Every structure is written in C-alpha cells, then in structure tokens.
Amino acid sequence: MSAAKLRWQTVETLDELFSLEQQWNQLALTCSASLFSQCSWVKQWAEQFWHSGCCLSCLAGFDGETLVALAPFYSQVEGRGLKLQRLSVMAQGEEERAELASEYPDILVNPVFKGIAQPAILEWFTQLKVDVFYCRALKQSSVLYELLASQPKLIVNSARGYSLSSEGWSINQLSRNGRSQWRRADKALKQQKAEFTWLNSDEVNLQWPALIAFHQARWKLKGKAGAFADSRFIAFHEQFAKGCPENVAMSGVFIAGKAIALNYYLLDQNNLYFYQSGWDEQTYSRYSPGFALHVWSIINNPVTRYDFMMGAQSESYKAKFSSEETSMANLYFINSPWRIRLFKLVNKIL
C-alpha cells in the first residue's frame, strides 16, 4: 500500500474538525491515546481558549471513509509591532497565566498505517508557514517526537515523567524517607480520626472551592500566582467536569467532615493523572496530609496506573513512590532566528 492510497484532507475549521468526533474517538482508542489527545479534551479547550487570531492547521488521513491519521495543530499571531506566527499542538499554546499544562500531546496514526502515513504528515508539516513551533511534555516514545526528532532545526530539552502500576503496590515500595514520613502521617491522622475517600460528582462540585482556596493560599505564600489564578483555567475545568464527569476524579482527607487535603485527577480508561492538589497548610502541614493522600489514592486507584505526569529530572518528590521514569521532552524549532531576535527587540520597545 502506498501513501497515495490514503486520502488526505486539510481540515480548515473547528466545525469540520469536531464533525470527526466519533471517528476521532475510535482512532484515539486504537492508538491508546491519552486523555489529552482525545476529542473531548481538545473540544473543551477550543471552547475556552480559541480566539480570532487562531488558525487551524490540521491534516486528516482516511482509508476509504475511515479516519486513520489525525495531526491537529494550529497557529496564532503574536506581537504588537513585528508579528510572529507560532505553531502549537491543539490544547497547548494558551497564555502562560491560564495554561492547562496538557501533557503527552501526540498525532494519532493507526499503527497499521504508520509506515505510510508518517512521511506524508512530515512532508505536510514541514511546508507550514510558521516562525516558531513549541511543544511541551511529550513522550520521547510518541509518534510526534519520532516524526520530528530528525529535523535539523529542532531543539530538545529533556524531561522526565513519573508513573506507576497500582496493582500490587505497597507502602514497602516507598523510599526509606517516604516510609518514615508515612508512619508519622498515618499515626497523626489516625489520632485525629481522619477519613480518606473518593468523592462522587456532587461532592467534587461541593469541594471544588476548597481545593482552589488551599492551592492558591500555598502558592501565594511562595509569591506565585497559582494554577487557579485565571478565570479561564477555572471555567475550563468546571465545564469539563460537567460535560465529562467520567474523566474527573477527586480524593480527599477529612477530619470531622471538613476537608484538609484534596487531590484533583483526570482519568481515562487506564490512567489516573494527578493534576492539581491543595491542603490546609496552616493547620495540618505537620501531618503531611498531601503525601498521605497520594499513598491512599495509589492503593485505592480505580484504574491500573497512577500517573504523576512530568516532573523534575532529579530530586523530584515523585520518585519517592518508586515510580517508573519515562523519557519526555519539551521541543521547539525556530525557522528564522534573526526574526525572533528582531521580534523581541521591537516588542520590548513598544
């Protein structure tokens, strides 16, 4: 079979892209794609972050009428004087203040057609007229990384992902310091008659303000904005939880019916993605409730894998759980370095 036997179509509007939702979902399932590459996540992202300066750059490949490849990118114009065209994967590239941190981005290619589809996608990609491309937190085992790794202008900053199988995991797999921390936390929380639990959808909605308050208070003490500083970030997650409750989970530690620690997760068929958290540092920090909640949530994971997502390459707290480490990367390339330098100068002056 040759690439010419696949039918390639450029997708130019969001309506056209999301009309493929049913086939997109099936392709994502075939590719074992993460939640962040699935239509539901990208569609909600577009509803919140798409603006008039965005331009879709998407290629779809069909075997007959069946979608077998999807490369969803978009570009946006940046700058006030001299302008730049920046290319991103769909569900990335929003303002840093409101950044969702969608990880594990990828293009979707049915494995049966990988050998013939990838060259066609690469040829299309290299002809896109953009000044800069940036993609964060992708696995080095991804199709997208494999596709771009040989490009001469590509700059790769290595990163590390942390995840583990919850099946058979036990306290004994914590690091030595982690086991000591757990014993202290377990004893202190038992003395307070603390309860650990998974929350149902109504309870998630009820505890959502507490999660935000805990999280923001902690980051305010660090002199930083915190993940929930932007209303668009909050609105995205509220709408996603409403539309896709099966993809959202929250665990908590409660004392006398009051939350003292909350973990917010995203969920797909096999993975529980640890996304955000918050705890009452002012009253209960010495109890390590956030750490204890991780331990409980790993042991009581409703699916097979517990994914901490991307973290520091060394001395990450995520390593103390005996997590498996995955090679990841942030990558970018610049087509016109002189134009980037001029862009920075002009916009600094303006």
Q: Which DSSP string do the residues of 175-202 spell out, in sequence order?
A: -HHHHHHHHHHHHHHHHTT-EEEE--HH
Name the average pLDDT for the chain: 92
Contacts of 25 (CB under 8 A, 6+ apart): 38, 39
- Tell me, yes or no, if the pTM score tops 0.75: yes
CATH superfamily of 163-327: Gcn5-related N-acetyltransferase (GNAT) (3.40.630.30)
Question: Quick one: pLDDT at residue 18?
Answer: 99
Question: Quick one: pLDDT at residue 342?
Answer: 47
Does the pLDDT value for residue 1 go beyond 80?
A: no
Of 47-56, 152-161, 293-302, which gets the smallest average pLDDT? Answer: 152-161
Does the pLDDT value for residue 349 go beyond 60?
A: no
93 token code pair: 């590239």
Rounded CA-CA distance 307/328 in Å is 14
Q: How many CA atoms lie within 13 A of 191 on its CB side?
A: 8
Does the pLDDT value for residue 160 go beyond 90?
A: yes
Per residue in 266-284, pLDDT (tens digit) is 999 899 999 999 999 999 9
Rounded CA-CA distance 121/333 in Å is 17
> Does residue 185 contact residue 287 with C-beta atoms inside 8 Å?
yes
CATH 3.40.630.30 domain position(s) in the chain: 163-327
Rounded CA-CA distance 174/180 in Å is 9
Q: Running DSSP on this structure, what letter comes out for residue 336? A: -
Question: Quick one: pLDDT at residue 295?
Answer: 98
Beta strands in the chain, from DSSP E residues, in sequence order: 7-11, 54-63, 66-78, 84-89, 108-109, 132-139, 154-165, 195-198, 248-255, 258-267, 271-279, 305-311, 324-334
> CATH top-level class for 3-153+335-349?
alpha beta
Of 37-46, 95-104, 195-204, which gets the smallest average pLDDT? Answer: 95-104
Per residue in 166-206, pLDDT (tens digit) is 999 999 999 999 999 999 999 999 999 999 999 999 999 99
